[in-house]
Amino acid sequence: DELISHCRKVGWIDDERWVDSYVRGQERRLKGPRAIRMKLLQKGAPAEIVDERLAGLKSDEAQKEAIAELVERRYSGKESQK
């Protein structure tokens, strides 16, 4: 316990930074807020920190719309080029 307290005090263990980093990585992999939250809680991250960090993410529905838009832009007209 003393060692963990010391590590937290000097910044070697920082739940907030770890959660931020994890969320960014999962968002780049197009994971939704619910999936990210579930995984972080399974890993033992504090729920308060997780919920605070995920509040700024797009909703699952908004993510689906953004992905559909991206796919449409990327592949529109590809059928006619075959």
The predicted structure's pLDDT at residue 39: 97
Helices (H), 1-82: 2-9, 15-28, 33-42, 47-54, 60-75
> What integer pLDDT is reported at residue 65 of this predicted model?
81
Check residue 19 and give its pLDDT: 95
pLDDT at 25: 93
Q: What does pLDDT average to in each consecutive run of 10 residues of the chain (82 residues)?
A: 84 88 89 92 96 82 79 78 55
Nearest partner of 22 among 48, 49, 4, judged by Cα? 49
How is residue 59 annotated by DSSP? P
pLDDT value at position 78? 67
